[in-house]
């Protein structure tokens, strides 16, 4: 599942492969941007903000959001794609590399000066150079909703998704339904920052320190299985800001009280 670490790692790969090169192929396969053509422009670079990816070309920015299934792939010119063409939403090619965006939930082009219109609402990003721990704690601590819902609100902190919420709350021994004002948000964020920064630099995300398949999480995706710490069966539920935005939650009723 793409979360902040995945998006930042993707931005790093795109930046390394494309920055400074001239765009020779440009194709956005979404109605609102289908007529945009940035061929001949130079790639300024790629950056991430939370779960948002910004690919800057000339004086414009391609904004994309990976959501649940999106991804960017890099190919050499003429190399066969590893996915069906109907899933492709964006192609940005240079003489040496070709970036292909697949199953992207959002794709739009804006003048780079207007990026704030797309990401200005986001809270501090733990993977950004300007990470502000105090502001993140202030925003999160002021949210009266359950901690699981508050942690997923990108206006509080940008980059943590459902898997991070479940795993961080387990590691801190906090029930997902706990009102946020009752949680030590400073300690929770400190753990979250250390975890997401470590995962950004790993090929595969892990919360347990083990990279083997089926061993990377404590509670996420493990409903009905024994807790790795105490043996109690992991439970599963749903929480959300409203019924239309509910997300699946996982917790250990013994370790999280």
Catalytically active residues are 2-3, 51, 247
Q: Any idea how long the chain is?
A: 257
Q: Check if the beta carbon of residue 38 is closer than 8 Å to that of residue 25.
A: no
Q: Is the dihedral of CA 141, 145, 149, 155 positive or negative?
A: negative
Q: Using CA atoms, how far apart are residues 153 and 25, in angstroms rounded to an integer?
A: 36
Q: Is 159 left (phi over 0), alpha (psi -120 to 50) or beta?
A: left
Q: Is 149 helix (H, G, I), strand (E, B) or coil?
A: helix
Task: In whole angstroms, give the CA distance from residue 217 to residue 182.
Answer: 25
């Amino acid at each position: 599942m793409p979360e902040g670490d995945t998006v930042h790692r993707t931005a790093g790969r795109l930046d390394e492969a494309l920055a400074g090169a001239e765009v020779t192929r440009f194709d956005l396969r979404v109605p609102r941007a289908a007529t945009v053509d940035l061929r001949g422009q130079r790639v300024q670079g790629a950056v991430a903000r939370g779960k948002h990816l910004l690919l800057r070309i000339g004086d414009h920015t391609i904004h994309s959001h990976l959501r649940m299934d999106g991804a960017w792939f890099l190919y050499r010119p003429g190399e066969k794609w590893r996915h069906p063409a109907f899933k492709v939403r964006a192609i940005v090619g240079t003489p040496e590399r070709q970036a292909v965006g697949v199953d992207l939930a959002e794709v739009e082009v804006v003048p780079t000066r207007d990026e704030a219109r797309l990401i200005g609402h986001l809270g501090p990003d733990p993977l950004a150079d300007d990470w502000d721990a105090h502001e993140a704690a202030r925003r999160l601590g002021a949210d009266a909703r359950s901690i699981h819902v508050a942690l997923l609100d990108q206006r509080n902190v940008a980059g943590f998704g459902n898997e991070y919420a479940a795993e961080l709350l387990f590691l801190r021994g906090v029930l997902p339904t706990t009102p946020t004002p009752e949680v030590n948000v400073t300690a929770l964020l400190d753990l979250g920052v250390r975890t997401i920064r470590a995962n950004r630099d790993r090929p595969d995300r892990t919360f347990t320190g083990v990279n083997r398949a089926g061993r990377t999480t404590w509670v996420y995706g493990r409903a009905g299985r024994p807790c790795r710490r105490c043996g109690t069966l992991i439970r599963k539920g749903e929480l959300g800001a409203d019924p239309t935005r509910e997300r699946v939650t996982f917790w250990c009723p013994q370790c999280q009280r």
